Amino acid sequence: MKSILGKKIVLGLSGGIACYKAAELCRLLIKAGAEVQVVMTEAATQFITPVTMQALSNQTVFASQWDARAPNNMAHINLTRQADLVLVAPASADFMAKLLHGQADDLLSLLCLARPMESCPLVLAPAMNREMWQHPATQRNVAQLHEDGSWVLGVGVGEQACGESGDGRMLEPWEIVQEVARVFTPKTLLGHRVLVSAGPTFEALDPVRGITNRSSGKMGYALASAAWLSGADVTLVSGPVGLECPRGVKRVMVESALEMHAAVESFAKQSDVFIATAAVADWRVKQAAVNKIKKTKDSPTPGFEFIQNPDILASVAGGPRAQARALYCVGFAAETQDVAQQTQEKRLSKGVPLMVGNLGPATFGLDDNELLLVDEVGTSHLPRASKEELAQSLIAHIAKSLPAFLRTA
């Protein structure tokens, strides 16, 4: 995560069983390139030891406002003056109530209050019993903390340590890391609605067999995540893949090309950007078998009549919203040869402002790729990198091109 790389983060732990997740959270932040300084309340030390957090962060853990290791004995001042962000995870109901009222009777609450607000954002990851989370007092506190400028994250839903089930669980560590990355990412697409199609489609031959392709959906999912990090409201229309839905993204699962076409057409009406990364099957069987086609010793090889599937990108790009230049369409061309020429030809035939070319066999199922961006200005090459990095570069390119495109409407 480029936005987290090199950042100095104070990771605060208040009391709660969710402290066990803080160990993995610390590890993931460091893996993303952050420097993590852990600060714990006395209650937090009852759930996880400072030794554990020190070993993971490779930094001395602070747990007392009276810690004399700071030369001026002002750890609550020193710890945030060089920090880029304070993250409290878990943030208990009691701790959030204290912050709301400006109470500061321990090191963690002191440094939250004393941090320079303009340069050191405060992110809170709540964790508590479902009844505590739903209580009107907690909800009032959350709303006021939002209003005061804190980033209060949502909560997870599921089984809780007390044996009950519901909302109030702390988000999973990977989700919190995504939220931290979003805080640091420039909001170049804030206020825009982005639609992404991803993955393969599956065209049934009979109830158990079908035609598909090797697309993993990883590029489309990375683009949906990158758009969300950049502040966009993102909808992802996905074919059958085995990937987790990206944080903050609304996902609609489909199977066939016809289902994907209907979903994309519906959401495109309210979108500002459409990124068509899905590897849509060009053909489908005119009439799929009602029952499984049996193979016997003497059975003939089955024959199928194929018909073309709709061209989703061309359909959306030729629609009234795109023609009025209110929808910026981006296509993907997975080629096997002459990538530059065929990508440009496809851009012109589809009538889209940007087409992204790549070698299909060199990317299907992999975690990295290289891309060729082709628009009316010319071509630019994104060298081989992880699909997450490429997605961030492509979203930056779209965000830069979008204002001029919309001005011509």
Report the catalytic residues. Answer: 162
Which residue, among 177, 124, 176, has the nearest Cα to 3 in the 3D structure? 177
183 Cβ contact partners less than 8 Å away, ≥ 6 residues apart: 85, 121, 123, 151
CA 263-268-273 angle, to 5 degrees, is: 130
| Separation of alpha carbons 75 and 68, rounded Å | 9
135 Cβ contact partners less than 8 Å away, ≥ 6 residues apart: 93
Contact 201/261 with Cβ under 8 angstroms? no
Strands 122-126, 151-152: pairing kind: parallel
| Separation of alpha carbons 397 and 373, rounded Å | 9
Terminus-to-terminus CA distance in the chain, angstroms? 35
| Separation of alpha carbons 25 and 172, rounded Å | 8
Q: Tabulate helix, strand, coil % of the chain (nearest 5).
A: 35, 25, 40
DSSP one-letter string for 244-300: PPPTT-EEEE--SHHHHHHHHHHHHTT-SEEEE--B--SEEESS--SS-----TTPP
